[in-house]
Amino acid sequence: MMRLTLCALAALAATALAAAPTVAQDKVKIGYAISKTGPNAGGATITQIPNYEMWVKDVNAKGGLMIGGKRVPIEVIEYDDRSNSEEAVRAVERLVTQDKVDLLFPPWGTGLNLAVGPVFNKYGYPQLAFSAVTDRAPDLVKRWPNSFWLLGTSTQYVDSLVGLLKKLRDEGKIGPNIAMISIADGFGIDLSQAARKGFTAAGFKLAYDKSYPIGTQDLSPLIGEASRSGADTFVAFSYPPDTMALTEQSKVASYAPKVMFLGVGVGFPMYAQRFGANVEGIMSLGGWSKDNASTLAYAKKHEEMFKRGPDRWGSQIGYSSLQMLEQAIEKVGKIDRAAIIKELQTGTFDTVLGKVKMVDNMMKDNFWLIGQWQDGFFVGVAPQRAGVGSVVVPKPAWKP
């Protein structure tokens, strides 16, 4: 009996949650489940959620998306996936089958984007993931042709970094030894693994190579050992909290290698605020164009709306992905998801990053992979494309 009740209750709940009626296209329903709580919340609130809110506001200010000759406003349905894969899968299923959304936005991070991948694919929704870095991206595109992996692969970042360091070494600006530390989590392991191969192949020697557990607060022993290793290039594939700690503790220890490359967080607006002039010369992933009026305008608008600037790595790519979606929908002229996916795969789009055309569902040379703080601006220094800044070496000494 009790089990029947269970069954009935589940059915009841399913129907109760399916209350929203659908009316013929007088609005476009867009849904997303994102980590508002849990360990992913930090990244999601800095890089992802502001872009969603800003884009929806921008489009609705125009009256909505141009579909079939008239403007159709956007309605948003949002859920919290609590940084949990199972919740994310269920929330996306709820958005598709209960809320019957027209389009979906992706969740934050590699893990959750992969978790919801099969659901996006099953129902044929375009998935424009811009907060996932995975070397499996080309395989994933074959498996899920509706998925787009805009932030690139770890190999791309490492190749750029290696190329940059090789040039500096050949110019005699740095020595052949590198000290590398990495966080023992997806990002740090992927990148350090690719870097280990790349550095060795380019003739560098890893004088120091250690990983540290997630949540490590005292990094000064690692800094000390890296300093004593004799390497004048320091590379850390770190997460925001350790990026902050590394900067602070290197300053205290007066550890000033010629090249200082740190991980996620260097591009965050709070990084420059907290360390002021001391960010000078520090390198990281991402980068910003000095002469691109549209990214500058985007940053300004972001600051006005949220009282803080965008992340200098993923944010611009995120906003561009939404612009691409917008233009693909308007070109197709109706909510025909298969046609929208096709348009995203083949079309050329006008975004804050400039003209973008995807190759195998990924961006090619549309954004900076490596950046460096120069005169208070996080300048893109690799890959070699229009507007590239030249690297400043050695990093200036710490100021008190």
Chain contacts with another protein (rule: CB under 8 A)? 1-7, 9-11, 13-14, 17-18, 36-39, 78-80, 82, 84-87, 89-91, 93-94, 96-98, 110-111, 114-115, 117-118, 136, 143, 184-186, 189-190, 193, 211, 213
CB of 265 to another protein, least distance (A): 18
87 or 311, CB closer to another protein? 87
CB of 8 to another protein, least distance (A): 10
Q: Is residue 235 a contact partner of residue 180, using CB atoms and an 8 Å limit?
A: yes
125 or 275, CB closer to another protein? 125
CB of 361 to another protein, least distance (A): 17
CB of 76 to another protein, least distance (A): 11
CB of 2 to another protein, least distance (A): 6
Alpha helices in 276-336 (DSSP H): 293-306, 314-332
Neighbours of 216 (CB within 10 A): 18
Residue matched to tokens 């954004």: 367
190 or 280, CB closer to another protein? 190
What are the phi and psi torsion angles at 236 (to 5°)?
-125, 120
143 or 364, CB closer to another protein? 143
CB of 31 to another protein, least distance (A): 11
